[in-house]
Structures are given as structure tokens and as C-alpha cells.
A and B are shown apart, each in its own frame.
Chain A
């Protein structure tokens, strides 16, 4: 019985040991080598990392990252992927939240001195070269003690108060999702994935563990290719990619610049999109160019592990018709709630709430935020049951399919990233000279707009934000005002600001 993600590796290694599992631009690894490397990393961690402890993994996206994730899983600890390009101040916030004792990296990756002083830094190459007494016996001890309810990873998402929130996900949730994902989309050892999403984004969990579960192959696509459509399609052909599961902006770039008219990805059989709304016009361009490919729209927050709804696109859609997010995944139920009332009528708006074993445990050391969104199921009066309130609004269409409408709060999706505007506002508020600031999202132009009042300028504000926020959270436009408009309650009049800007 599978109770830990490394059980997938153990089983697959026996069936497909010599087969290539993961590849990046510089290296590749077979399932047998992957098992050996992950066990070496685990052995090197055992004395510093107790069962159930967090281990940071901070390195350029590579095959070694996956070896590190699995090495951590062998110890019964859980991994926390960190973007190595993230500003130090944000990494520090995450480290303070976790009180992590160990950070895994590679020799050539640069870790700031400030981080080196706060926890033990271990290089995976050193761990893989070392020799350990009773390595496998010690690992088996940890594995015998592990259960499927143990956390597998924590992924940090934007937090509205300025502090990122660590979503803690169990092995059981990952395994439940992976089983459904592989069965529903008929993955087997012949599948070749092209991974796009960063490893600190939970969508990457899908490619990584489907590969491990099925004995498939996963290529890590060099990031710069996602700005070069011709080279990207050429990569898909060269590597004989059969399945992609990408954010819509990457797919839009390919068709917007007529790439498929010059070269088509001949091996591609499955195209899925996630993370933000796929424009139907661009989807139709894909379908016209590659009519035999199977397409699916996937939806799900990090708190519900991978996806919680899916929609296999089989009927035609007009360019201005939204593509549904469809139906709930296995062992997941989606409740559309208006307050505590279940919405069932076509066209009526409700909040997407999720129940089932895909739910995360909540946010690491953040009971307040956890209690805000992981709440009692209002429809279950007889016993305690948790549901997750996503904050996403949806409706049922005439076919009984779920259709995403919008957010009910100030969370946005920008460049495929989930962002709380409050986190940007908190960072703006910390800039010397800024008295008041607020942000809003221009959905039409897909821009984050910030408005600030104070004695500073755009250059100084950007310089400050670069030290605190990832690049994708830095506003695209800065507007300095003499005085921030306020409403009768003395709060910033966001509606007026946005209306003024849009005019």
C-alpha cells in the first residue's frame, strides 16, 4: 500500500530502473540512480532532521531538486521548495515562520550569507558522495514509522498581511491526487512531460509524481524558452513531448505569434492548462492547429492539492464563451455556497468550497488564517467536518458544468501566480516616505497598478520592493498622488481610485 511518495519510487524503480526519469538542460537521472541519490541525501539528513520537520530546498530548478524532495521524504520530514531568486527578506520571513534547521542546495547555487548564518546548509552533491553506516536500515526505520497523514511538503503562497502562508499538504493528499490524475488522463510509462511550472508552485507536483507513479519521463524546460515560441515548439518536437500542463500565458504566446503555422508539435497528445483563465480565442487557435490533441481545463488552489476540478474539452466553444472548470476530481466534492446555503440553480453565483481528502492541513503556524478559510461544513450538522473556502466565485451553466467567475476578495492571478494585493500594499507601506498606498488589478491590461502618497519616487519604491517581493509581484504601474482619496469611514476609496485610473 502506498503511504509515502517514495513508495512510488520504490515500485517504479523495480519495473523501470534503467529508464530515464527526469532531465534538465545539463543532466538526467534513471529511476535506479534517482533512488540511490535520494537515499544518499536522506542518509545525510537523518542526524539533523527529525521526522515531521521542515527542510528547505533552495536551488535552481533542476533534476537535483527532485532528488532532494525525495531524499527529504525518505526521512519522514517534509520539504519546502524556495525560489532561489526570491528576495532575501521574503526568504527570511518564510524561514522565521518555519524555524527550519536545514537548507538543501547545490554547490554552485549562491545562498546569501544572512541565510547561511541562520540554518545549516547542506549541498546535495556532498551528501551523495559521502558514505554512511547502515544507511538503508536507518532509512527503513524512518519509513516504518511514517504514515500517509504525515506532511509531504509545504508550499508558500502570497499572504494578505504581508507574510507568506505555508500550505501543508500530506502524502495522502498527494497520493490521492496522483492516482486520480494518472488514471483520468491515462498516463503510462510512454508519457513524456515537459514541465513548465516552478517547483515552488504546486502545479509542478503533478508532473513530478505522475512521472514517478507511471515510470514516465519528465523534461524540465529551460525557462527562457517560454519567451521564445519558435524554440519552445522545436523543443517539444526534439524531446518528443506527449503531454504539457502549462499556465495559459505560455500557450497563448505560441499561438499569438503564429508559431503552430510554421511547426507543429508532432508527438503532443494532451494539452492541459491551469493557474488562470485560458482565453477561449487562443484555445480555439490551438484546437484548429492540433485537432487530434486532447485538451483539459484544470482548476484548483494549493490548499486542495493539485486540481480539485477538471474539464475535458470535447464540445465547441465560441471565442467569447468561457471554458468551464467542469467537475470535481476523485474523492473531492465541490460545494457551491452562498453563505451557508448550497447553490444548485443554473446561473446562480456561489463560492467554490471543497471537501475531501485533498484538503491541506492548513497554514504552517498560522491558526488565524487557517480558521478563516478551513471552516466547518455548514451543511453537515451531525458531526465535525472541515471544508476549504477558496474565495473563488462560480456558477453552473446549462450543462451543469462549473464556470469560474471571479474572486470575492483582493487576491488576483497574474502571470499564473496567485497574489494577495495586501502583501504588495504591506511592502509599499514599509517604503520610507510613503504615507499611504494601495493596489488594484487592471484585468483588461493585466497590470498591477499601485497608487501611493508620500515623499518618494517610483525608482526608490521599486528598489525597495525588489528586496521584499518576487519579481512577479512588483507592480507594472506606479501612480503618485498628492492626497489619497478616502471614503466616509476614512479608509482609502479604492473604488474611486480604480474608476479614476480606468477613465
Chain B
């Protein structure tokens, strides 16, 4: 399942030139879903953590990396569970995926009408997402990487003042999860060419279990203060970024085996070392 160096270079070049188009082609090729999903290059940048302690840096440098241009689809996940029976719905251990794992699929190897092949896969656990990424020779993005990539607007590197993006983002947050998710192709690509970072599904990050409301908590009030809502905002640097709060809250609330109707993932990879 591992990608060859030649493919990596190819994917990188194509990703830069025409990333999203290649994905569409990848979906057509039912033989090899994982290898064909295109990646885009996210240039090195700076992630400003939403919350930090006094000892944390205000900014985190993020090296450039590659990120899947779109969330992993049901078709791609089907290829994975076909090759790895341990991750099929009927066989997975409850420790690694809770009882609603792939619940919207018709059966073990049939996504069915509630999970269109080209829609993002949801109801997948962190352990499953990680296993998928490993099988694809990739990994999950870190929080810093994901947020850096998702920080771009439709037209520029900084999406904070991108009105169109923010309108779409908050409209999405306000809508209930549709019973059947839309195809990944329907999401508008951002400046990096990555689709669906906002507006399709929530996504796992590799270090989700670092997301805890942070702060000096040696005192007895620690437990109380560490509830993510109120105390979280105290140390926050960008209180206008409501969506980022929601993502942080979601991450801090999850366990590695949890699955939800709106939580999917995409993979990342390091740039080839010279």
C-alpha cells in the first residue's frame, strides 16, 4: 500500500498544478483509491494557537507539508476496509471504534445509499483514521498543520477577513448535519486547493488528545476551570474565531474510539527529504 517515491513526486507536482482535478480522476479509478487521492502543498507558515499557557509560544512554526486535497471518501475507506478486514464494521474492536462506527453504511463492504461513494467518510474513529493513513503511507495532520491549511481563505493565505469564506463557514455551522453528506467535489477549494476543510465535515487531527483546556491547574479549582467552555476563552487570543473554538471544544471532548455523524478525516504527509 505504500506510495512509491516516483508517485510522491508526481502527486506533488500534479497537486501543485492541478491538484483537485487529479482527485476526481482518482475516484474513477476503483482499483487504487488510496494512492490516487491527490495532495496539495501547504507552504510553511505560522500557526497561532487558540489557547496557550504563559509558557507557550505565541506562534508555532509549521514546516511545509502535503495535505489531501479533500477528505477521505467512502469509496476510499471501502478500499481500505476491504484490504484490512480488522477495520470492517463487524470486526473492529470496540476499543478502537465505538458502536456507531460506519453505522451509516449498508454493510461491511457496502456503503450504500446513506454513504455515497464520493461523499466524505464519517463515523470513523481516530484509531481507524490513523490505520488508514498508515496503510496509505501517510499520517494524520497535526492540529497546527490542519489549522494552518484551513486558515487560508478562498483567495488568499489569510482567511480571517475573507467574507465569502466566513459566510459559508458560519452558514455551515448553523445547519444541521444532512442525513446524506454531499460529494467532496461540491466543496469550494481554498487558496491552497484544498476542498472541504470547512463546510463538509469535522476532521480528526493526529494530536487531538493534546487538546485540553490549558492553564495552570495545580489548584483545587483545576477540574472546574478545565471545562472547555468558560475557562477556555480566558486564555484565548482570538475570541472572534468562534469556529476555531468549536473545533477545539470538539477535539477536547473526543476519545480515540469515538465516531460521529459529521467527523471524518484527511491525510497529510511530509515533503520528501532531499
User: Do A and B associate with each other?
Assistant: no
